[in-house]
């Protein structure tokens, strides 16, 4: 094929890929179009990948190159497909962290390869190589730690003087990078480069290690933006518009999402990163208060209360995901609807273990999007709600966020469930939530506790409702 025609077709493939990324991201902003948007972006990516393979790969041993490339594509596709199909909703956050870490690792490997290919790169190219390697390595190491923390294999651990150590590591990375980029020690360049890689890996680990469980959605979003930025640097290195566009979109969207989530928690990003919210200290602080007594409610009384209500609001949390009870919850919603009860869902932006966790969970059960109320809208309707049913949520309904200045979550906007007539909380036990903070709501006069696994409780509740 003529070189000019080949270049024209390749650029057209890249243009299609970039446009589909933008369209896909726009469609992801609404649950009703999110799946279609994801598919459109995937098709665009496939066009860009195939265009690159067939129009850029050449030279000697083309057959061997194709065998290696397609072998990697097939293996990655099979592994990714099986992992995505088998993953439970409870494990979705850690899978997102793991896949995000793989993106960071790819960006790191691109920088390593380019560093070794080009013996004397221009300063601009070397800056991109070093920055891509640093950010990709931090994203990879941090995402792996986040994955371990989310699945319980790694516990929160605050190292004495950890912030000082991180500052020293960060300073060391800057100094070594300056030496490498400036060419001040040409004989030591390769050793210094791998020194930067090592420091960045250690920094990524120590950066995420002390961050508490309640802040993990913010951390996942931040690490995702890091991976996007690192991928954008790869786009610069290869003069590849698709990598550049995709990286910029992921980096900017991740950054915006991180800022919005921090706003939803009424905390600065700096406070999230150094505050260890949800760590051991929070647990100690939350456990120190004497709360008093709580009251339980039976399934029969719950069924009667909900059956004769005009409006019920369900507040989903991680406990709902653990019990895999989203489909049963939707069934409860439909039965109440048949009895003339209006049912809506109150969604807190940081409920669960990753951004949008509850939206994804309920979308899987085909809950109509119009029934999902964002926190502000849910709070506006709380006063007209007869019964609030809290399923596994904890910290996002804790009144200490509004009333107790000594609480680690003080100032965080919450779902103001106490405005409703009755509050029913389904939990397995009275243990504190993921943030390790005791919830004062459980001991309030309007609140009744309904203990048990969410799925089993909802199944029994449905059976009771059918008899009311």
Alpha helices in 28-91 (DSSP H): 31-56, 62-86
**Rg, C-alpha atoms of the chain:** 25
**Exposure on the CB side of residue 144, measured as CA atoms within 13 A:** 15
Pairing, β 342-347 against β 372-374: parallel
Provide the 8-state DSSP code for 396: G
C-alpha span between 96 and 349 (Å, rounded): 17
C-alpha span between 297 and 336 (Å, rounded): 19
Other CB atoms within a 10 A radius of the CB of residue 70 amount to 11
Extract the tokens encoding 345: 């869902």
Among the listed residues 239, 380, 395, 404, the single catalytic one is 395
Burial class from Cβ neighbours inside 10 Å (0-12, 13-18, 19+) for residue 364 reads middle
C-alpha span between 295 and 83 (Å, rounded): 42
Nearest to 314 by CA among 265, 350, 348, 263: 348
Extract the tokens encoding 77: 């596709």
Other CB atoms within a 10 A radius of the CB of residue 20 amount to 23
Q: What is the DSSP string of 247-288?
A: HHHHHHHHHHHHHHHHHHTT--HHHHHHH-TTSHHHHHHHHT
Q: What is the largest CA-CA distance in the chain?
A: 82
**Exposure on the CB side of residue 243, measured as CA atoms within 13 A:** 19
C-alpha span between 465 and 144 (Å, rounded): 45
Contact 136, 223 (CB under 8 A): no
Does residue 215 carry a catalytic annotation?
no
Residues acting as catalytic residues = 395
């Amino acid at each position: 094929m003529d070189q000019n025609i080949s270049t024209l077709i390749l650029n057209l493939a890249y243009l299609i890929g970039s446009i589909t990324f933008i369209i896909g991201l726009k469609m992801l902003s609404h649950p009703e179009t999110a799946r279609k948007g994801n598919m459109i972006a995937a098709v665009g990516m496939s066009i860009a990948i195939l265009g690159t393979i067939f129009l850029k790969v050449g030279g000697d041993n083309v057959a061997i190159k194709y065998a290696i490339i397609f072998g990697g594509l097939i293996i990655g596709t099979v592994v990714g497909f099986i992992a995505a199909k088998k993953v439970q909703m409870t494990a979705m956050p850690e899978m997102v962290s793991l896949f995000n870490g793989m993106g960071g690792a790819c960006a790191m490997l691109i920088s390593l390869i380019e560093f070794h290919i080009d013996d004397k790169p221009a300063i601009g190219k070397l800056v991109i190589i070093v920055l891509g390697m640093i950010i990709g390595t931090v994203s990879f190491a941090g995402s792996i730690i986040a994955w371990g923390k989310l699945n319980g294999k790694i516990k929160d651990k605050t190292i004495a003087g950890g912030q000082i150590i991180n500052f020293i590591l960060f300073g060391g990375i800057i100094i070594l990078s300056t030496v490498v980029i400036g060419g001040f020690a040409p004989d030591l360049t390769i050793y210094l480069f791998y020194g930067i890689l090592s420091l960045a890996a250690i920094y990524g680990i120590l950066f995420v290690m002390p961050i508490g469980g309640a802040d993990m959605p913010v951390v996942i979003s931040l690490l995702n933006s890091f991976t996007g930025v690192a991928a954008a640097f790869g786009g610069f290195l290869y003069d590849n518009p698709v990598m550049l566009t995709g990286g910029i979109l992921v980096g900017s969207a991740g950054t915006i999402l991180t800022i919005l989530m921090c706003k939803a928690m009424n905390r600065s990003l700096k406070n999230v990163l150094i505050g260890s919210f949800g760590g051991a200290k929070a647990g100690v602080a939350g456990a120190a208060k004497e709360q008093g007594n709580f009251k339980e409610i039976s399934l029969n009384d719950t069924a009667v209360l909900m059956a004769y209500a005009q409006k019920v609001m369900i507040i989903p949390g991680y406990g709902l995901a653990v019990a895999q009870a989203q489909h049963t919850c939707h069934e409860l919603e439909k039965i109440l609807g048949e009895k003339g009860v209006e049912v809506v869902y109150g969604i807190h932006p940081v409920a669960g273990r990753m951004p949008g966790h509850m939206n994804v969970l309920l979308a899987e059960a085909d809950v109509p999007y119009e029934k999902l109320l964002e926190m502000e809208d849910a709070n506006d309707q709380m006063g007209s709600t007869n019964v609030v049913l809290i399923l596994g949520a904890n910290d996002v309904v804790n009144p200490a966020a509004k009333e107790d200045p000594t609480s680690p979550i003080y100032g965080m906007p919450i779902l103001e469930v106490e405005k409703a007539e009755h509050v029913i909380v389904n939990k397995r036990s009275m243990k504190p939530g993921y943030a390790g903070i005791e919830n004062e709501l459980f001991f309030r006069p309007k609140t009744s506790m309904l203990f048990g696994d969410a799925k089993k409780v909802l199944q029994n509740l449905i059976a009771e409702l059918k008899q009311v």
